[in-house]
A and B are shown apart, each in its own frame.
Chain A
Amino acid sequence: MSIVVFFMVRAIPGDPAQILLGQNATEARVQALTAKMGLDKPVPIQYLLFLKDAVRGDLGDSIVTGRPVTMELLIRLPATFELTAFAMLVAVLVGVPVGVISAVRQYSLLDKVTSVLALTGISMPIFWLAMILVVIFGVNLELLPFPGRLGANTAITSITGIVLVDSLLTLNFAGFWDGLLHLIMPAIALGTIPMAVVMRMTRSSMLEVMNEDYVRTARAKGVVPWRVVFKHALRNAMLPTVTVIGLQVGLLMGGAIITETIFSWPGIGLYAYQSVSGRDYASIQGVVLYGALLFVLVNLLVDILYAVLDPRVRL
């Protein structure tokens, strides 16, 4: 049953996306897109027709710039990718270890403090967190530069469009440092919620796993504690965490809109904001399509990871 639901969730998102291409989209483009997403048949046609009526216009060209929306999205993809990847990296590198420690030392002071901090992290509006960061570290302390991806005096050669990669490839270490400094505040703003969610999920699934028989057995036969935690418990506890990480990556698009707007980060999120305020319907549709596509792809990736982590799961 759950497998059916899983597949339905994965099968359906492409369909509204397909219709979001608009009435004026050519058959070939619709088909290309459908094929790209691995979907051949739309299921809830009624709903799609409703969307079709509701969202007029087509993906074709941006009303504001006159350029194809697809191109606008591709230009901005590297910036958004760099930001979200970095934010997620921070979230996982902090969230998983802290979650593990909280679970192993349940009810310790550290556990209580991090639990409340995590809940606070989820409760803060991203845009407020971003504003506070800008005010404290950007303006008052002048520690971190903003807005944008690079300072006015820094130039890097664009190869992939990802500042950190490009600057390293061209051995431009000053550019790398500048890019890294620009990345810190937006990444913290964007990464706080996933960090908190990952931390909570890791903690609760670790707690669950630590009570399992095989962990007790491992302990009983004298396996050293850290080995029990990392080898026996963590690997099994990672499954729900991986799901949550996947979900969060999909949801980051929403956070990216807000974060990029505040930091004038030239990515898809800022583009989304500009499209919405400029009532550029074609671009809005493009962004939504991108968001849904990302969501589906990430979920697919999560399924594959499942099989890697847990040999019992077959794709």
Chain B
Amino acid sequence: MAEAQIQQDEAVSLGVETRSRRQDFLRAFFSNRLAIFGTAIMGVFILMAVFAPYVAPYSPLQQHLPQKFAGPSFAHPFGQDELGRDILSRVIYGARISLTAGLAAVALATTVGTIVGLAAGYLGRWPDSMLMRLMDVLLAFPSILLAIVIVSILGPSLANAMLAVGIVFIPQIARVVRSAVISVRERDYIEAERALGAGDAQIVLSGILPNSMAPLIVQATLTLATAILDVAALSFLGLGARAPTPEWGAMLTDAFRSGFGVFLQGQHAIIFPGVAIALAVLSVNFIGDGLRDALDPRRRG
């Protein structure tokens, strides 16, 4: 390994391109065991979400009241919930809702945040200070608190919870993009593009954005982890998914709220959805950490 590395370095110093950046990145990413673990778990969750109707043994909404809080069995490996619904099926369908909600929130935050960050970083001067001050105002509130305010203004629903969480994370993305843009803006190749007569739009899209991607991807991934948690938390507070939607946070809350009976007979009902959330978030965090280490050689170690 060490010898190969030395040869590699020699090859590079001789001006021979032996590895592309993509290969470099993939090698670094997949040499991280936790990142592989995270990717594998996330892959399972995504498959579950996509093929939910084929994978789930029962309908997520079918109630069997006589079997309220029935424990895990062969027919129902994760047991049944407060309305006798199959928890395994609900966890599988929940992957669709919880992951989509998290992704939608991050997509919103990333799109708006990138535009704001690009504009602020590239234009500089007053658009920069105006936009970033706006971002600072958003940043000044604890994120859940801000999300709560937004949802209570818009009205409680899963869509609004997604929207609120998305808005809350705009400033973080914008800041990351902005600082990446500023560090790229004065580079020689941007100057070269300008000298060749490229317009602002072309410079931003072909010169600046691709070279600012690394920190953006890392930030967006780590934001996804928090977004999944925050959407679940909003559901817990009654501001997100509503019964009977099989969203993980709502499942936990419904089981917990359905009375202290949970504590004695239905304890399995608050285990599996929680494990699902924790595993999903953990795997996203592993992926995010792996990406950061692979994309930013200085932080490797």
Contact = CB atoms under 8 A, between A and B. Distances in A.
B236 A122 contact: no
Nearest to B280: A123
A127 B229 CA distance: 10
Interface string B135-164: 011011111111011001100000000000
Given A123-B281, A276-B238, A295-B140, A12 B133 contact: yes
Given A135-B263, A250-B142, A254-B144, A284 B237 contact: no
A257 B237 contact: yes
Interface string B247-264: 001001100100000111
A284 B151 CA distance: 12
A174 interface: no
B237 A258 contact: yes
Interface stretch (A86-94, A286-294, A306-314): A286-294
Interface in B119-137: 132-134, 136-137
B93 interface: no
Interface in B275-296: 277-278, 281-282, 285-286, 289
A288 B282 contact: no
A292 B139 CA distance: 10
B270 A251 contact: no
Nearest to A261: B237
A247 B132 CA distance: 19
A13 interface: yes
B170 interface: no
Interface in B158-210: none
Contacts, number: 142
Nearest to A1: B182
A9 B138 CA distance: 10
B245 interface: no
A91 B278 CA distance: 20
Given A119-B285, A132-B270, A47 B134 contact: yes
A258 B152 contact: no
A262 B134 CA distance: 34
Contact of B141 (A13, A54, A132, A135): A13
B282 A128 contact: no
A143 B279 CA distance: 28
A54 B153 contact: yes
A288 B149 contact: yes
A55 B153 contact: yes
Given A12-B140, A125-B249, A277 B238 contact: yes
Contact of B233 (A122, A126, A134, A250): A126
B32 interface: no
A44 B148 contact: no
Nearest to B175: A5
B232 interface: yes
A276 B152 contact: yes
Contacts of A47: 134, 137
Contact of A127 (B141, B142, B152, B252): B252
Contacts of A254: 142-145, 233
A190 interface: no
Chain B interface residue bracket vs A: 35 or more
Contacts of B137: 12-13, 15-16, 44, 47
B48 interface: no
Interface in A112-134: 116, 119-120, 122-128, 131-132, 134
A291 B281 contact: no
A124 B271 CA distance: 12
B229 A125 contact: yes
A132 to B, nearest CB: 7
B284 to A, nearest CB: 8
A276 B239 contact: yes
B236 A291 contact: no
A13 B134 CA distance: 10
A128 B152 contact: no
A235 interface: no
Given A131-B252, A258-B233, A276-B239, A125 B274 contact: yes
B70 interface: no
B79 to A, nearest CB: 14
B243 to A, nearest CB: 15
A295 B237 contact: no
B282 A139 contact: no
A96 interface: no
A284 B143 contact: no
A188 interface: no
Interface of A: 5, 8-9, 12-13, 15-16, 43-44, 47, 54-55, 116, 119-120, 122-128, 131-132, 134-135, 138-140, 207, 250-255, 257-258, 261-262, 272-273, 276-277, 279, 281, 284, 287-288, 291-292, 295-296
27 contacts: A12-B133, A13-B137, A13-B141, A44-B133, A54-B153, A120-B278, A122-B225, A123-B229, A123-B281, A124-B281, A125-B249, A125-B274, A125-B277, A125-B278, A127-B232, A127-B252, A128-B270, A132-B274, A134-B263, A252-B142, A253-B145, A254-B142, A257-B144, A257-B148, A279-B152, A291-B141, A295-B140
Given A135-B267, A295-B141, 19 more contacts: A5-B136, A8-B136, A9-B140, A12-B137, A13-B141, A47-B134, A122-B225, A122-B281, A124-B278, A125-B252, A125-B277, A127-B252, A251-B142, A253-B142, A258-B144, A258-B233, A261-B237, A277-B237, A292-B140
Ranked nearest first, the 10 interchain pairs of A and B with the lowest CB-CB distance are A254-B144, A13-B140, A128-B274, A123-B281, A123-B282, A139-B263, A291-B145, A127-B236, A254-B142, A124-B278
